[in-house]
Amino acid sequence: MKAVARRLVILIPYLWLLVFFLLPFLIVFRISLSEPAIAMPPYLPVFDLEEGWRAIFDKLSQLTWGNFEFLLEDSLYINAYLSSLRIALLATFLTLLVGFPLAYGMARAPQGLRPVLLMLVILPFWTSFLIRVYAWIGILKPEGLLNQFLLALGLIDRPLAILNTETAIFIGIVYSYLPFMVLPIYANLEKLDYSLIEAALDLGCTAFGAFWKVTAQLALPGVLAGCLLVFIPAMGEFVIPDLLGGTRTLMIGKTLWTEFFNNRDWPVAAAVATLLLLVLVVPIVLFQNAQARAQRAAQ
Amino acid sequence: MIRSKLLLSTVAAFAAMAVTAVAQERVVNIYNWSDYIDESVLEEFTKKTGIKVVYDVFDSNEILETKLLAGSTGYDIVVPTGTFLARQIQAGVFQELDKEKLPNLENMDPAIQQRLEKYDPGNNHAINYMWGTTGIGINVDKVKERLGDDAELNSWALALDPDVVSKLEDCGVYFLNTPEEVIPAALNYLGLDPDSTDENDLAKAEEHLLKIRPHIRKFHSSEYINALANGDICLAVGWSGDILQARDRAAEADAGVTVEYIIPKEGALMWFDNMAIPADAQNVEEAHEFLNYIMTPEAIAKASNYVYYANGNAASKPLLNEDVIGDPAIYPDEETVQRLYTTSPKGQREQRALTRVWTKVTTGQ
């Protein structure tokens, strides 16, 4: 009886994955193998259960890999993936650079202060993401707050062009995803036993050495989790580059939008999405392996 | 399609519940462009007919089209532009209008109706709401400051001559982010057919636009209204009514910004936004009542006076404000109209070629 109950509990996450990940993915994948058409929905063939299974099997032969071949023919798509990859990696690194000291400071703050600091990190989430990104337009634009501030200080004598550049995209991503980096690192650092550092220092380690060999190593799972939580959404990011970055920056999210909305080519858009997923699955699998290895080592 | 069947049955179940809830209340769900109506027009409709208006807005044809093609939008009236309308009719998105229920059709301008037939043969699926042109908006003082007081301000050269536009770069140049509007303008400027889908022609347009590109600050289809009105930019290639709205906002703010709309002498794109009823609309009766109401001279004149776009309703002309009917930027004279051009709906391949050129222009890839 107990064994059955245990299996049922395990079943829930699998069911969740099946319904909210695998099924939608299969639908997208199936569209990626179709041809565009002027119809509702705008692709062929369309499977209809009412036509019976035989009709569906007959239509299977109409599916084609052509859209994926097309993605490889035009350098646009590969460049878009590479450009997204570059931006996502750099943005993740920058977020880590800002997020780690923040998490470290929070973890070392007096016990009573920590809930307040934690609250301050989470607080911006109470405002809509879109509004927060829009607010950055007001800050970064040529006659915006930042430029006026710098002009008033006399640091610059003409407004800096930040909005509609790649810099603005990085600012937007770092700002928006900072909590995703801070929280897992903080969770790890908070558990950290500081007597270990004292021991390292007592045994003649330098302050930096102790930080690197003890704190950084023990925070590593949190850092990895934080990096993935930032990297994955940054890779497919559409809103931030669209609002802050202008049209010049090529990113895969934007390419997908163009295929779907401007070309109304759902099959190619679905193929782009399928490839994006594959690109993202690789780092996740690597992370899972690293986690599993770390757990084995800990035992 | 399996998914939509499932979805449909769920929606139907919800709809059934909703119907019992609102049995006594008649509703019409309208999906229109943002900033595109005087709200009091809707209020008066409700007062007159007792039909509640649920009003929702979009800012690009692409979004509207994607929703329509996915089906079950829940909207009873939508407002696509001509070229999009044509393709959507072909895809079976719209139902035929019941003209018996639209006696006010007699108010419509035959000349506009005839132009619309290019997209909707027989005018069977849609009525014209507004029409306008795609031209150039400028901040007059800033442009003159850079080009000289006697500069020629009535040509596409302002936006499409690399030598001219490079002088405006520092104070800001915006272009619409739609290949369907900017590429025809470039083709027309180069002396080619603005409606061309020929590969060589498109290549020439691409080459030319790439020369302009370094001087353009942003490609965007709505931000230029505020940017022009605030004096943040010098020039925008945009839609007539939007630029005229910017002109009025600038005048109201009285901060020394003067915006002007130009229909260039080389000609400009003329487009039509039209109201149509999706095939799967729930409130067909109410939708017809609304269409008939919006064709009354009073209602449509009020809308035009508010949004600064010309409408396709001949009977409304006496009711239009002087700054609308008398403004050649809104109701161009016959000679200007002769220079306006229209484009046709594009097939899948042509559309892809057009968008590909556009991606190259906007991103350099």
List pLDDT tens digits, range A65-114. Answer: 889 998 998 888 999 999 999 999 999 999 999 999 999 999 999 999 99
Q: Which whole-number Å values give the CA distances from B5 to A32, A47, B14, B195, in the listed order?
A: 20, 10, 14, 39
Angle of helix A66-73 relative to helix A75-108, nearest 10 degrees? Answer: 80
- Does B344 reach chain A within 8 Å, measured CB to CB? no
B180 and B70 together in one domain: no
Considering only CB atoms, A46 lies closest to which of B1, B68, B69, namely B1
Q: Which residue has the higher pLDDT, A33 or A58?
A: A33
Query: Based on the domain organization, do B101 and B199 belong to the same domain?
Result: no
H or E stretch covering B49: helix B39-49
Asked if the structure places residue B311 within a domain, the reply is yes
Rounded to whole angstroms, the Cα distance separating A94 from A295 reads 28
CA distance B207 to chain A (A): 17
A248 Cα to chain B: minimum distance (Å) = 4
ipTM, two decimals = 0.74
Distance CA B92, CA B73 (A): 14
Q: Are residues B70 and B176 in the same domain?
A: no
Mean pLDDT per 10-residue interval, chain B, length 365 residues: 45 50 78 92 96 92 92 94 93 96 96 93 96 96 92 93 94 91 96 94 96 91 90 93 92 92 95 96 96 97 93 95 92 91 88 89 82
Q: Are residues B244 and B290 in the same domain?
A: no
In a domain, B337, yes or no: no
Closest in A42, A141, A143 to B69, CB measured? A42
- Residue A295 confidence (pLDDT): 78
Query: Whole-angstrom Cα distance, residue A41 to residue A55?
Result: 18
Look up residue A174 and give its two tokens. Answer: 């770092």
Question: Do B52 and B13 belong to one domain?
Answer: yes
Asked if residue B227 lies in contact with residue B236, where contact means CB atoms within 8 angstroms, the answer is yes
Same domain, B179 and B261: yes
Task: Give the pLDDT of residue B8.
Answer: 47
Please indicate whether, in this complex, the C-beta atoms of B351 and A249 are within 8 angstroms of each other: no
Per-residue model confidence as pLDDT tens digits over A118-150 = 999 999 888 999 999 999 998 998 888 999 999
> Would the CB atoms of B351 and A250 count as touching at under 8 Å?
no
Strands B126-139 and B310-311, by their bridges, are antiparallel
Domain containing residue B300: CATH number: 3.40.190.10
Q: Are A235 and A84 in contact (CB under 8 A)?
A: yes
**B112 to chain A nearest CA, in Å?**
27
Taking the Cβ of residue B179 and every Cβ of chain A, the question of whether any pair is shorter than 8 Å is answered with yes
B247 domain residue, yes or no: yes
pTM for the model stands at: 0.80
Query: Quick one: B18 and B112 in the same domain?
Result: yes
Residue of B nearest to A44 (CA): B1
pLDDT, residue B2, reads 42
Q: Is residue B338 part of a domain?
A: no
Q: Is the dihedral of CA A36, A38, A42, A44 positive or negative?
A: negative
User: CB under 8 Å to B105, separation ≥6 — which residues?
Assistant: B99, B127, B295
Enclosing domain of residue B23 = 2-131+271-331
- For strand B310-311 and strand B52-58, is the pairing parallel, antiparallel, or unpaired? unpaired
Beta-carbon contacts below 8 Å between A and B = 86
Burial of A221-235, coded b for 16+ CB within 10 Å and e otherwise, reads bbbbbbbbbbbbbbb
Residue numbers in A near B351 (CB within 8 A): 262-264
Alpha-carbon gap: A258 to the closest alpha carbon of chain B (Å) = 8
Chain A residue numbers with beta carbons less than 8 Å from the beta carbon of B214 are none
What are B291-310's pLDDT values in tens digits? 999 999 999 999 999 999 99
Residue B336 within any structural domain of the chain: no
Could you tell me if B100 and B151 lie in one domain?
no
- Is B253 found in the same domain as B170? yes
Residue A164 and residue B356: Cβ atoms within 8 Å? no
Q: What is the pLDDT of residue B152?
A: 86
Strands (E), B290-351: 310-311
Query: How many domains does chain B fold into?
Result: 2
Compute the distance between CA of residue B261 and CA of residue B328 in angstroms, rounded to an integer. 10
Q: Are residues B305 and B243 in the same domain?
A: no
Q: Which pLDDT score, from 0 to 100, does residue B258 have?
A: 95
Amino acid at B332: P
Nearest 5°: phi and psi at A240? -65, -50
- What local confidence, expressed as pLDDT, does residue A56 receive? 78
The Cα–Cα gap between B247 and A165 comes to: 28
Instruction: Give the count of alpha carbons within 13 A of B364, CB side only.
Output: 9
Residue among B2, B62, B87 minimizing CB distance to A47: B2
| Residue B242 at interface with chain A, using a CB cutoff of 8 Å | no
Same domain (yes/no): B226, B204: yes
Whether residues A246 and B2 touch (CB distance < 8 A) is answered with no
Instruction: Give A-chain residues touching B87 at CB under 8 angstroms.
Output: 38
Which uninterrupted H or E stretch holds A71? Answer: helix A66-73
Q: Which residues of B touch A30 (CB under 8 A)?
A: none
Tell me which residue in B1, B66, B351 faces A47 most closely, judged by beta carbons.
Answer: B1
| Cβ atoms < 10 Å from Cβ of B14 | 10
Q: What structural domains and CATH numbers belong to chain A?
A: 1-26 (no CATH), 75-298 (1.10.3720.10)
Q: In the numeric block, which tokens belong to residue A9?
A: 């509990």
User: Which tens digits make up the pLDDT trace of A47-61?
Assistant: 777 777 777 777 788
Residue B235 and residue B146 share a domain: yes
Mutate to test the interface with A, among B1, B226, B354, B356 (most CBs of A within 10 A): B1
Of residues B305, B272, B334, B316, the one with CA closest to residue B114: B272
